[in-house]
């Protein structure tokens, strides 16, 4: 008498095999997700740290004055937004004018004439994004005064500027708010009017003085006669 195959046992084996394969697939899927998430989180931070280290090596300069410093590129944008008032110099860390500025910043005596502090923002990576955000050009050294994250004034530095004599005065003037053209015109008109009144008053005073002197002279003549 032939024995019938145990279909229940075979079915259990197949189910067990499928279950193990599913578990393996699920585990592999979880592992892949974990690796991808780790790469997404770690790689940008690693890149930022590498870039920061490379920038630090490019701007390895020490200043005796506490009024000047190089920006931490990882936090400078936030500092600009949150600071009540800050002056930032945007520049590629190379070139003749750049070296002249660094020499000036190293001159502690010259920096005594500067009344505020300044942060140097080196343009190395993501130059296009930085140019667009702050409306600067990497070919041009630009100094911007920010107030509560908003630009209030700026000037550029080129080879025609005498850095030793002209830079610090312009830097000190930078926080002064730009005067509205209409207000400036009114001020000019008021100054011209005041100047005209002064000029008109001067001849009148002179005439009165001459008349007084003439009257005294006539009185003296009458006394003599």
Give the tens place of pLDDT for each residue, 107-163.
Answer: 989 999 998 999 999 998 888 999 999 999 999 999 999 999 999 999 999 989 999
Query: Residue 79 belongs to what domain range?
Result: 68-173
Mean pLDDT for the chain?
A: 75
- CA 104 to each of CA 44, 82, 108, 115, 143: distance values in angstroms, whole numbers, following the listed order: 36, 28, 8, 15, 15
Q: Which of 16-25, 44-53, 142-151 bottoms out in mean pLDDT, i.e. has the lowest?
A: 44-53
Of 155 and 6, the structure prediction assigns the larger pLDDT to 155
Q: What is the pTM of this model?
A: 0.58
| CATH number of the domain bearing residue 121 | 3.40.30.10
Structural contact between residues 147 and 116, judged by C-beta atoms closer than 8 angstroms: no
Residue 48 falls within a domain, yes or no? no
* Banded pLDDT at 202 (limits 50, 70, 90): very low
Q: Using a CB cutoff of 8 Å and minimum separation of 24, what contacts does 60-67 make?
A: 61/102, 61/106, 63/105, 63/106, 64/106, 64/108, 65/105, 65/108, 65/111, 66/117, 67/111, 67/114, 67/116, 67/117, 67/118
Specify the number of domains making up the chain: 1
């Amino acid at each position: 008498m032939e024995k019938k195959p145990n279909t229940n046992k075979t079915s259990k084996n197949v189910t067990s095999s499928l279950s193990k394969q599913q578990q393996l697939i699920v585990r592999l899927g979880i592992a892949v997700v974990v690796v991808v998430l780790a790469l997404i989180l770690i790689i940008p931070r690693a890149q930022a740290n590498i870039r920061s280290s490379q920038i630090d090596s490019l701007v390895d300069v020490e200043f005796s004055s506490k009024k000047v410093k190089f920006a931490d590129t990882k936090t400078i944008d936030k500092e600009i937004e949150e600071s009540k008032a800050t002056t930032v110099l945007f520049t590629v860390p190379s070139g003749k004018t750049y070296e002249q500025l660094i020499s000036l910043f190293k001159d502690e005596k010259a920096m005594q004439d500067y009344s505020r502090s300044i942060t140097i923002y080196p343009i190395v990576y993501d130059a296009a994004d930085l140019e667009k955000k702050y409306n600067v050009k990497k070919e041009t050294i630009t100094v911007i005064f920010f107030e509560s994250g908003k630009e209030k004034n700026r000037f550029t530095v080129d080879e025609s500027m005498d850095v030793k004599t002209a830079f610090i005065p312009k830097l000190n003037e930078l926080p002064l708010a730009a005067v509205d053209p209409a207000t400036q015109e009114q001020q000019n008109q008021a100054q011209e009017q005041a100047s005209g009144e002064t000029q008109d008053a001067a001849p009148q005073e002179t005439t009165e003085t001459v008349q007084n002197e003439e009257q005294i002279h006539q009185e003296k003549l009458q006394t003599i006669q």
